[in-house]
Amino acid sequence: MMETANRLAQHFATEKQRKFESNFLRDAQIYETWNEVEIGRSFQGKQKFKVMEEDVLSYNKAMEETDLLLIDAAYATENSPTKELIQHPLFVVKVAFYCIENGPGSWIRSPGAKNPGQKIEILEPFKIGETISMTVTPIDRWIRRGKHYITDKLDFRNESRIHKATWWLTLIIPPNREEILKFAQM
Amino acid sequence: MKAVRFSQVNIGDELAPVEHIVSQAVIDRYAVASLDYNPVHTDIDWCKRARVFGTPETVGHGMYTMSLMASVILRNWSAAFARVRSIEAKFTKPVEVGSLLRCFGRVKELHPIAPGKNFVLVELKAVDKAGEPMALGFAEVMLPD
């Protein structure tokens, strides 16, 4: 485990990355589980995400983008139509994991989870300096071929309540705490 | 890169593919960038025991594959002007560490709604070295008039 943490730490480039818990097995005892989630009940994400230039840059660089508008802040300030770094369309993934942390929607971190497919709508790209709040609404869970699926609707808004993005987040996860803990204790 | 305009795009246009080898370093970098530290991606020893996908190896993030599919659009049409307004993907096979991932895009539909609202639907596909589909999807992309 320490070896994994050390390997990952080599890539830390932002304040959020340095502070965020990288061991997802640690809090498995408190993650939401498929059988306990209340469908239809909304919660605020545990954390708010203040969009920093370094956050955008680290996502774009992880995708090995080469367009200077995505990876060179000074160039983007001069040449981008928004006068700031252009964001990769999937940047919202980082915002979601940060906002959820180990609170509402934490089944996203379940050991043993599988990703069948996702849908994301971006109404307006996030802007550097905005503080993003996320609402988590479990909208469905179902069983197909013995697998337990669940979907949360994640809505992202800035401090002026402008709706920025929605992610229909679906995973196949272990059906209950006992099964999650089996994976966590392997 | 010059902006591609809505009027310049045709149904059937192929976008140049993007390919990456999904090494453990690529997976680690994406885990840190996305804050998705599920051990199935990052914990090599845990994967040997858990075998979530039947393999003892780590696997790449589905969201990395989806991001690479979106990168096809960014790299073919200027990221500054082509705005992905929605994207969806279904993952058909896990991407084992060390796999080659090749992503393609093809214009499927044109939606001439109104100036400033026109968009195209791009069909996206990610395949492995053997051409086996790893993910299939679509993106709606707004382009300048």
Q: How many residue contacts between A and B have a Cβ separation below 8 Å?
A: 156
- pLDDT (0 to 100) of residue B87: 98
pLDDT digits (tens, 9 = 90+) for A9-18: 999 999 999 9
Are the beta carbons of A1 and B43 separated by less than 8 Å? yes
- pLDDT (0 to 100) of residue B5: 93
Q: Could you tell me if A122 lies within 8 Å of chain B, comparing CB atoms?
A: yes
Are the beta carbons of A112 and B50 separated by less than 8 Å? yes
pLDDT digits (tens, 9 = 90+) for A175-186: 999 999 999 999
Nearest CA-CA distance, residue B27 and chain A, Å:
9
* pTM of the full structure: 0.97
Residue B8 and residue B30: Cα distance in Å, rounded?
34
Which of residues 141 through 170 in chain A touch B, CB cutoff 8 A?
none
DSSP per residue over chain B, as a string? -PPPPGGG--TTPEEEEEEEEE-HHHHHHHHHHHT---HHHH-HHHHHHH-TTS-SS-B--HHHHHHHHHHHHHHHS-TTT-EEEEEEEEE-S--BTTEEEEEEEEEEEEE--STTT-EEEEEEEEE-TT--EEEEEEEEEE---
Return the number of other C-beta atoms located less than 10 Å from residue A139's C-beta: 14
Which of residues 58 through 117 in chain B touch A, CB cutoff 8 A?
61-63, 66-68, 70-71, 73-75, 78-81, 83-91, 94
Residue A78, SS3 per DSSP: helix
Helices A92-100/A53-62 angle, 10° precision:
120
ipTM surpasses 0.85? yes
- Output the average pLDDT for chain A: 97
pLDDT digits (tens, 9 = 90+) for A92-128: 999 999 999 999 999 999 999 999 999 999 999 999 9
- Output the average pLDDT for chain B: 96
Q: Residue written as tokens 């993106």?
A: B139
pLDDT digits (tens, 9 = 90+) for B26-64: 999 999 999 999 999 999 999 999 999 999 999 999 999
Q: Could you tell me if B130 lies within 8 Å of chain A, comparing CB atoms?
A: no
- pLDDT (0 to 100) of residue A162: 98
Are the beta carbons of B84 and A122 separated by less than 8 Å? yes
Nearest to B63 among A10, A93, A113 (CB): A93
Q: Could you tell me if B28 lies within 8 Å of chain A, comparing CB atoms?
A: yes
- pLDDT (0 to 100) of residue B41: 98
Nearest to A69 among B42, B80, B94 (CB): B80
The strand pairing partners of B123, in sequence order, are: B106, B138
Are the beta carbons of A119 and B33 separated by less than 8 Å? no
Q: Check pLDDT > 90 for residue B138.
A: yes
- Mean pLDDT throughout A134-151? 98
Residue B97 and residue A180: Cα distance in Å, rounded?
24
pLDDT digits (tens, 9 = 90+) for A45-94: 999 999 999 999 999 999 999 999 999 999 999 999 999 999 999 999 99
- pLDDT (0 to 100) of residue B3: 79
Q: Could you tell me if B11 lies within 8 Å of chain A, comparing CB atoms?
A: no
First vs last C-alpha separation in chain A: 12
List of E strands, A18-162 = 43-44, 49-50, 117-122, 131-144, 147-157
Nearest to B36 among A10, A61, A93 (CB): A93
- Identify the band that residue B1 occupies on the pLDDT scale cut at 50, 70 and 90: low
